[in-house]
Chain A
Amino acid sequence: MNTITTDNPISSEQTSILACLASILIPASDKYDIPGADDETIMSDIISAAREHAESFKTGLDAFDAYAQSEFDTDFVSLDHDDRMAIVEHFQDNAPHFIHALVSVTVSVYYQDTRVMKSLGLEARPPFPEGYELPQGDWSMLDPVKERGEIWRKAD
């Protein structure tokens, strides 16, 4: 993982933990031919997005390492998948606010990535200015509602 930039708001160790968590949450898929959330471009955007919450991310990511050390006597990124997942589940129960922030930032960046959008059959563009088309529909479907008549309650 080489997403360390000069203005990275988190340390290289924290970046590694974050990339590890991103890949656990959203792994790459051969089936859909899409990268995981630890893809270099996506990670760079995740780190940028995390800048707004840098302090809580630093604290939260350090806690993953500290817990790994206390439970497994090694750092988080050195663990195998099952042990990493056990730690994720621990923090889902004990640090839900950080997990929510982590998931929010990760999925926001991931599902706005051009490659991912295209894999979902979406046009990789913002909504404006082209917008979208929707069928107008057939309002004769309202005929049974009209046939029932007025339902509002008289007041005065």
Chain B
Amino acid sequence: MANEPVDVLIIGAGASGAAMAWSLADTRMHILCMEQGDWMNPSEYPSTGMDWESRFSSEFSISPNERKRETDYPINEKDSAIGVANFNGVGGGTILYAGHFPRFHPSDFRAKSLDDVGDDWPINYEQLEPFYNVNDRMMGVSGLSGDPAYPAKQTVMPPLPMGYSGEIMGRAFNKLGWHWWPSDVAIATTDYDGRARCINLGACSSGCAQGAKASTDVTYWPHAIRAGVELKTRCRVREITVNDDGMASGVIYYDENGDEQFQPAEVVVMACNGIGTPRILLNSTSTSFPDGLANSSGLVGKNLMFHPYANIQGVLPEETDGYRGPTLSLWSKEFYETDASRGFVRGFTLEMHRGNRVVRTALNGVMSGRIPWGEGHHDAYRRLHNHILGMSAICEDLPEEHNRVTLDPDLTDSNGIPAPKIDYTLSENSQRMLDFAVERGTELLETCGASEILVQSPIPFGGWHLLGTARMGSDPSRSVVNEWGRSHDVKNLFIIDGSIFVTSAGVNPTQTIQSLALYIADQMKQRLANLFD
């Protein structure tokens, strides 16, 4: 039986798709969201079982190539310096993210004007600020107001506990005179909107069994569905179709039985993030769009940005939080803004890690040689257990066209849809920034009293943030979507995920991805009478 046409079809039920669906629901339009994955069952998350740490590296791995769920698609990343992390299911990447939830800074929207790199965004902090505030409430953000590294903003709930680790690191920050502050996190520290407060499970990145972490399956989606939005799982979209007028007419997808279906739609919204979105656009070829849909600029898939990460850890004489509590709870913006004397432009955030999990301590210790095989294993393990403190440096990645997503000529998913192929190299600027960040992280840990420093730079599997591959801008020759998310080429096609980022900033992007989706939804609602003009 043929599917009935819908007014708005959103592809992807993750961070941005959920926010868009909720915001558009008050228009009373017929809104359908298609998701290739399943609803998650929190009672099956790893932290509910004794073997919880083992499951981090199997069905809850951040890498789709290791996870290999039926609902995943493979990614060819052999020519990428950084491996991709994602999740396919209702909630998308928010199922496995840490919930670290910084906003962009005002300067992040003006990298070209301020530092002559990248491009300026066609919008600014002030335009996005009201949507950051809405998103804070919908996701339930905890933190502490008054951070001098940001314009004034209010938080919804109190910050996560400082813990033993936070106190150690706070003392060191103060000794060095560096900025630090409790992080904004999308983790409920009080009971909030039907969610129970955080109880420090320490397993945020394998799904929150408590429901305290704001994955969109427990935040936006219940509200959107109650407001009438329809969500269909196990629908894997192959391509967007176009009519004779060059407008999107719907999508061809495979249902849960693997049968090909067509879903007609008046408006198509892409919400598959920086790899999934260009994959579908590049696979949507036609006589009118031989190089892929919305690709007259040739920029679909180009300018991929990840955020190169350095991980710096130290071994302390004092006990740290170890396996307890959400991993990320403090940040430092001391090195966020450009300082030419450092040898690179733009900057990074230092994100404190409370410590290591029990098995992770053993695995890292053995593989790094700090814990020997045989004699001495147990003494060495006990020296590290609950005595590790560390941080990540999340470095701003700048757009470069050679870093890109294309379609692999051979590799496909289980439905025969071409898999994405990633080509990505670290820039000299990124490498210098990473090196500087490692030096500063080492300095901080030594100030904490660390006796040994362990560095991983860049983190090879740390491609959590998938950005820039369908950038926004006012010039159709230099961008894929306009300043309110509509394709320059196809006037009923919108993109609302990390693909449209112009630059990456030096922060986790989910807060800005969702606020952008809310901003674009608001722009659409203001223009409903002439949306396609």
A in complex with B: yes
Instruction: Give A contacts to B, CB under 8 Å.
Output: 24-27, 29, 31-32, 34, 49, 52, 81, 85, 88, 100, 103-104, 107-112, 114, 117, 120, 122, 124-139, 141-142, 144-146, 148-156
Partner of B148 from the list A25, A85, A148 (CB cut-off 8 Å) is A148
Q: Which residues of B contact A138 (CB under 8 A)?
A: 162, 167
Q: Which residues of B contact A31 (CB under 8 A)?
A: 378
**Stretch from B199-207, B295-303, B449-457 that touches the partner:** B199-207
| B174 lies within 8 A of A131 (CB) | no
| B166 lies within 8 A of A127 (CB) | no
Pairs A–B under 8 Å by Cβ, sample size 14: A108-B51, A112-B53, A124-B50, A126-B48, A126-B49, A126-B52, A128-B47, A129-B210, A133-B200, A135-B161, A141-B170, A142-B170, A144-B174, A148-B177
**Stretch from B227-235, B362-370, B387-395, B509-517 that touches the partner:** B362-370
| B162 lies within 8 A of A136 (CB) | yes
Q: Which residues of A contact B362 (CB under 8 A)?
A: 107, 110-111
| B374 lies within 8 A of A49 (CB) | no
Report the minimal beta-carbon distance from A52 to chain B, rounded to whole angstroms: 7
Would you list which residues of chain B between 192 and 215 have a CB under 8 Å from chain A? 198-203, 209-210
How many contacts between A and B, using CB within 8 angstroms?
180
**Stretch from B29-37, B178-186, B437-445 that touches the partner:** B178-186
Residue of B nearest to A122 (CB): B358
B40-74 Cβ-contact flags toward A at 8 Å (1 or 0): 00000101111111100110000000000000000
Contacts A103-B363, A107-B362; is A152 near B148 (CB within 8 Å)? yes
Residue of A nearest to B151 (CB): A152
Report the minimal beta-carbon distance from B96 to chain A, rounded to whole angstroms: 16
Residue of B nearest to A148 (CB): B148
- Rounded to whole angstroms, the CA-CA distance of A31 and B380 in the bound complex is 13
How many B residues are at the interface, by size bracket? 35 or more
- Rounded to whole angstroms, the CA-CA distance of A50 and B52 in the bound complex is 16
B496-525 Cβ-contact flags toward A at 8 Å (1 or 0): 000000000000000000000000000000
Q: Is B412 an interface residue (CB 8 A)?
A: no
Report the minimal beta-carbon distance from A135 to chain B, rounded to whole angstroms: 6
Question: Across chains A and B, which 3 residue pairs bring their CB atoms closest together, nearest first?
Answer: A137-B162, A131-B199, A107-B362
| B161 lies within 8 A of A127 (CB) | no
Most chain B CB neighbours (cut-off 10 Å) among A109, A138, A151:
A151
Q: Which residues of B contact A155 (CB under 8 A)?
A: 106-107, 109-110, 113-114, 124-125
Report the minimal beta-carbon distance from B162 to chain A, rounded to whole angstroms: 2
| A137 lies within 8 A of B321 (CB) | no
- Rounded to whole angstroms, the CA-CA distance of A108 and B166 in the bound complex is 27
Q: Determine chain A's interface SS by DSSP, over half rule.
A: loop
Q: Which residues of B contact A24 (CB under 8 A)?
A: 373-374
Would you list which residues of chain B between 347 and 388 have a CB under 8 Å from chain A? 358-359, 362-363, 366-367, 373-375, 377-378, 382, 385
Partner of B149 from the list A32, A103, A135, A151 (CB cut-off 8 Å) is A151
| B57 lies within 8 A of A104 (CB) | yes
Q: Which residues of B contact A145 (CB under 8 A)?
A: 148, 173-174, 179-181
Q: Which residues of B contact A139 (CB under 8 A)?
A: 144, 159, 162, 182
Report the minimal beta-carbon distance from B123 to chain A, rounded to whole angstroms: 11
Partner of A27 from the list B45, B203, B333, B375 (CB cut-off 8 Å) is B375
| B363 lies within 8 A of A107 (CB) | yes
Q: Which residues of A contact B122 (CB under 8 A)?
A: none
Partner of B325 from the list A25, A29, A85, A132 (CB cut-off 8 Å) is A132
Residue of B nearest to A34 (CB): B378
| B148 lies within 8 A of A150 (CB) | yes
| B48 lies within 8 A of A25 (CB) | no
| A120 lies within 8 A of B358 (CB) | yes
Partner of A29 from the list B149, B171, B378 (CB cut-off 8 Å) is B378
Q: Is B337 an interface residue (CB 8 A)?
A: yes
- Rounded to whole angstroms, the CA-CA distance of A104 and B367 in the bound complex is 9
Residue of B nearest to A114 (CB): B50
Q: Which residues of A contact B374 (CB under 8 A)?
A: 24-25, 27, 81, 85
Q: Which residues of A contact B149 (CB under 8 A)?
A: 150-152
Q: Is B532 an interface residue (CB 8 A)?
A: no
- Rounded to whole angstroms, the CA-CA distance of A126 and B321 in the bound complex is 17
Report the minimal beta-carbon distance from A147 to chain B, rounded to whole angstroms: 9
| B163 lies within 8 A of A135 (CB) | yes
- Rounded to whole angstroms, the CA-CA distance of A127 and B373 in the bound complex is 29
Q: Is B4 an interface residue (CB 8 A)?
A: no
Q: Which residues of A contact B105 (CB under 8 A)?
A: 152-153
| B385 lies within 8 A of A120 (CB) | yes
Residue of B nearest to A156 (CB): B124
| A52 lies within 8 A of B106 (CB) | no
Q: Which residues of A contact B45 (CB under 8 A)?
A: 128
Contacts A31-B378, A137-B162; is A108 near B54 (CB within 8 Å)? yes
Report the minimal beta-carbon distance from A19 to chain B, rounded to whole angstroms: 14
Residue of A nearest to B146 (CB): A146
Report the minimal beta-carbon distance from A92 to chain B, rounded to whole angstroms: 9
Report the minimal beta-carbon distance from A121 to chain B, rounded to whole angstroms: 9
Beyond A24-B373, A155-B125, list 15 extra A-B contacts (CB 8 Å): A25-B377, A85-B374, A100-B367, A107-B363, A127-B52, A128-B203, A128-B209, A132-B200, A134-B321, A134-B324, A135-B163, A137-B163, A145-B174, A146-B146, A151-B333
- Rounded to whole angstroms, the CA-CA distance of A144 and B159 in the bound complex is 19
Q: Is B164 an interface residue (CB 8 A)?
A: yes
Report the minimal beta-carbon distance from A103 to chain B, rounded to whole angstroms: 5
Most chain A CB neighbours (cut-off 10 Å) among B48, B170, B362:
B362
- Rounded to whole angstroms, the CA-CA distance of A13 and B366 in the bound complex is 26
